[in-house]
Structure 1
Amino acid sequence: MKNDFWLNLPTKDLPRARKFFTDLGFEMNQVPGNPTHMVSMVLGEKKIIVNIFEEALFREFIGGHKVTDARESNEVLFSLGADSPQEVDQWMDKAVKAGATVYGKPGYKDGWMYGAGFVDPDGHRWNLLFMDMSKFPNR
């Protein structure tokens, strides 16, 4: 567990969050005891863990501090790398079908990046990005 890295998020509706991320096809993290108080996912080749906890439990973890309503403000943007523009489009299709709201339609930026963005049911923003490094501008 040394040097492992976890991101923890709150949710107002754990079953909805579980269904949303399962519908997106995220790899679920096998947590001992099959807990009912969280959804745990593994993201990317570096195996970053994202845990989603019921809001009341999340509030305990942060010492009773107020939980930000991510539908009104954001502290973080989650970015997921894609291998092609088509993969970005596929992720977006899955996200919309699972109940996401689009905040950034798929498209190119600066001639070498192709991306899109969606908002999950709890208001957390996710960015999908393909970077064609062969077209990266020399500076």
Structure 2
Amino acid sequence: MSKMIFINLPVSDLGASTRFYEALGATRNPQFSNENAACMMLSDTIGVMILTHDFYRTFTSRPIADARATSQTLLALTVAERAEVDRVLEATVLSGGRADPNPPQDHGFMFSRSVEDPDGHVWEIFWMDPAAAGGDAPPA
């Protein structure tokens, strides 16, 4: 069995966050979704559990950070083509995201932009030349 990863994020508006993650390319898994949480699958092995603040608090006694004021993680998601970086950013902005909270990066063989979800969690959308991913990257 392949390993899976589930990223758990507290959200203030489950509906708005669901729309954002659908625009990011995720599919809602109804088996693990209800009025307190939505399981948003980015692939067969990558899931984002978006949890209302009240439900999130049942998993930890630590305070929920304001993702717009603090940084705890930077999440990165690959896309298949360079132009898809901009397409994903446009779709997520139309679904409540904020484009480029961090500066875009263009290294020729790798291009990335970032988007902030409705609660301030930052996702880096990036493309890397398949030859570079195979170890044939030009020197930095």
Measured against the shorter chain, the TM-score band is: 0.7 to 0.9
2:96 matches 1:95: no
Residue aligned with 1:69, SS: coil
8 Å CA contact 2:16–2:96 kept in 1: the answer is: no
* TM-score of the superposed pair, with normalisation by structure 1: 0.84
**Alignment correspondent of 2:31:** 31
8 Å CA contact 1:114–1:130 kept in 2: the answer is: yes
8 Å CA contact 2:37–2:49 kept in 1: the answer is: yes
* TM-score of the superposed pair, with normalisation by structure 2: 0.84
Question: Could you tell me which amino acid in structure 2 is paired with residue 119 of structure 1?
Answer: E
8 Å CA contact 1:114–1:129 kept in 2: the answer is: yes
8 Å CA contact 2:76–2:126 kept in 1: the answer is: yes
Shift in Å, 1:30? 3.2
Shift in Å, 1:105? 5.6
8 Å CA contact 2:23–2:91 kept in 1: the answer is: yes
Q: 1:38 to 1:19 in 2, by over 3 A?
A: same
2:138 matches 1:137: yes
Paired residues in the alignment total: 135
After the TM superposition, list the runs of 4 or more consecutive aligned residues in structure 1 that deviate by more than 3 angstroms: 1-4, 104-107
Q: 1:81 to 1:119 in 2, by over 3 A?
A: same
Shift in Å, 1:93? 0.9
Gaps (5+ residues) in structure 2? none
